Every structure is written in C-alpha cells, then in structure tokens.
C-alpha cells in the first residue's frame, strides 16, 4: 500500500514561492496519475494540478495555470509542485494524491484518487 508524505509548506508573503514535495513509499509511481489538491478553511477541496508519471502530461486548474508547475522525479519516487507568484487565496492545506487504478488522461476528480497524504499547510499573507 502506497504511503504519501508531503513537505515544503510554510508561510510566505504574496508574490513569493514555495515548492511542495510528495514522496511515495512502498510503491513505484512510474505510471500513475498523481495530483495536488488543496482545501481552505470553510471551503471545499479543489484540484490544483495533476501529472501522469508515465509520460509527464500535466493539467492545471485555471486558478493556478501559469503560476504553478507540477513535476516528477521517478528516481526519487517524488512529485513536486512549484508555486510561484503566490496569492492569499492560494492559502490552505495542500494534499498529494495517487490514483493507482486508472490510467490517463489524468483528471482532478478527487474520487479517482485512492491514496492521500496527510497534507502540508501553505499560508500566503498579503
């Protein structure tokens, strides 16, 4: 059973950058859909970005397109989310998720993802 551990969250000012990491263990993420979701207090969880680790195809939510970049390092079994030009509305708990059952195209439908990390907090101040 795969375990996902996120890291890299923190507090930054608007316009700053953070890089989140999602390290997987007990499973090789070489051909899977991986995604980042986020949830702010009082709001529903929303999909941020997804990547197919077997080919590198990516998809971004409109709200982060052009500012966030999802990437992978299969040798390290890790997926990253580089977040630039951060805005206060980007604040929330960020979760890494893995879909081990269905292949591409990867989508940001949370029900597809059966494995989730514990989350890492991102706080962006104005």
Provide the pLDDT for residue 53. 93
Provide the pLDDT for residue 39. 98
Phi, psi of 66 (to 5 degrees): 90, -15
| pLDDT-flagged residues of the chain (< 50) | none
Provide the pLDDT for residue 29. 83
Calculated CA dihedral for residues 79, 62, 15, 97, nearest 10 degrees: -20
Give the number of C-alpha atoms closer than 13 A to the C-alpha of residue 96, restricted to the C-beta side: 30
pLDDT in tens, 5-20: 999 999 999 999 999 9
Provide the pLDDT for residue 64. 98
**Cα 22 from Cα 8, distance rounded (Å):** 9
The SS3 of residue 9 is coil
Give the single-character DSSP code of 38: E
């Amino acid at each position: 059973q795969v375990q996902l551990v996120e890291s890299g969250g923190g507090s930054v000012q608007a316009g700053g950058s953070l890089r989140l990491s999602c390290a997987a263990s007990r499973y090789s993420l070489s051909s899977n859909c991986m995604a980042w979701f986020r949830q702010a207090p009082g709001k529903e969880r929303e999909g941020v970005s997804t990547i197919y680790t077997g080919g590198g195809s990516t998809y971004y939510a409109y709200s982060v397109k052009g500012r966030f970049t999802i990437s992978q390092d299969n040798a390290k079994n890790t997926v990253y989310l580089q977040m630039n030009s951060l805005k206060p509305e980007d604040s929330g708990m960020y979760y890494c998720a893995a879909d081990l059952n269905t292949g591409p195209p990867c989508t940001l439908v949370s029900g597809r993802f059966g494995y989730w990390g514990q989350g890492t907090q991102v706080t962006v101040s104005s």
